[in-house]
Amino acid sequence: MNYRHLFHAGSFTDVVKHVVLIALLEAIARKDKSYCYIDTHAGSGAYDLLSEQAQKTKEFVSGIEKVIQCENPPAIVKHYIDCIHHINAQLTGEKFSSLRFYPGSPLIARYFARPHDRIIACELQPQEYQSLRNTFINDKRVAVHHMDGFLGLKAFLPPPEHRGLILIDPPYENPDEFIRIAHALPTALKRFAGGVYAIWYPIKTKSQIEQFYKTLKREIAQPIFTIELTIYPDLANHLNGSGLAIINPPWQFAETIEEILPWVWKALTINNQGAYHASLLK
């Protein structure tokens, strides 16, 4: 496990993932009944953008920094930016803090959770786990586990709340990660058929994504909504963009995404390259 998210924190792919995550969290919170948010590959909490690692790649410059500078964001993007400012103010102790820290998915989910919602976060890398544990040390609503996220799917499903959002966001260090996900999902869905699942994936080659979609369709009976956003053309062996597959998308989720995706793409694209697309898998 060599992957460290600090090199990529706040990148354009993080922006897309976290805006979609917030759209899902807001959709699930429309009903007052409590939910459980499960983050199978949670990362370390907050990422210091002044750290040597973040400064080495500066991926946040073409991600969150761009979005923060754009005008007239749609409501969900505004909530995302508010969340980042709020967490920065908390961590730096400054009221009008600049962008020093980028919050990872568990911190974002924690910001949007209501008093009766719960969060479970799994992280396998020892240092990342320790940092995540420290982040939520006195927080009774967040349970942090040092464990394989795929085992977490078995251990924590179904949640007693019977309402849940599960983010599956592995590092794709191994070429078989797509296959591992496609095989883990049917078991998870057997335990918790009505859960909302969000699976993040990198977009490098079209054929890999087409194969992934085919496998998902074959393995899963529930509706699957896919969101893709690229900021480069089809460059070979290059991270051209990223996508999310949403199993059991909430009511009116497609409309929400259709509304925000063009704005997000415009904010992130490099010279109008790449494209965006969202639809139900057929």
Ligand X SMILES: C[S@@+](CC[C@H](N)C(=O)[O-])C[C@H]1O[C@@H](n2cnc3c(N)ncnc32)[C@H](O)[C@@H]1O
Q: Please, are residues 123 and 104 in contact by the beta-carbon 8 Å criterion? A: no
Q: One-letter amino acid identity for 205?
A: T
Q: Which of 14, 39, 117, 169 is catalytic?
A: 169
Which residues within the stretch 146-205 sit at the binding site for ligand X (CB under 6 A)?
A: 148-149, 169-171
Asked if 117 is an active-site residue, the reply is no
Nearer to ligand X, 122 or 227 (CB): 122
Smallest distance, Å, CB 103 to ligand X? 8
Tell which one of 11, 15, 16, 17 touches ligand X (CB under 6 A).
17
What is the per-residue binding string for ligand X in 35-74, x denoting contact by CB under 6 A?
----x-xxx-------------------------------
User: Is 145 near ligand X (CB under 6 A)?
Assistant: no
Nearer to ligand X, 46 or 261 (CB): 46
Tokens of 239: 């991270």
What is the per-residue binding string for ligand X in 96-125, x denoting contact by CB under 6 A?
--------xx----------------xxxx
Tell which one of 1, 50, 137, 236 touches ligand X (CB under 6 A).
1
What φ, ψ does residue 160 adopt, rounded to 5°? -60, -25
Quick one: which of 232, 231, 226, 230 has its CA closest to 258? 226
Smallest distance, Å, CB 128 to ligand X? 4
Nearer to ligand X, 2 or 115 (CB): 2
Quick one: which of 179, 165, 168 has its CA closest to 218? 179
Compute how many residues bind ligand X; rule: CB under 6 A. 20
By Cβ distance, which residue is nearest to ligand X? Answer: 104
Smallest distance, Å, CB 166 to ligand X? 12
Nearer to ligand X, 116 or 133 (CB): 133
Which residues are marked as active site? 169
Contact residues toward ligand X (CB under 6 A) are 1, 3, 5, 17, 39, 41-43, 104-105, 122-125, 128, 148-149, 169-171
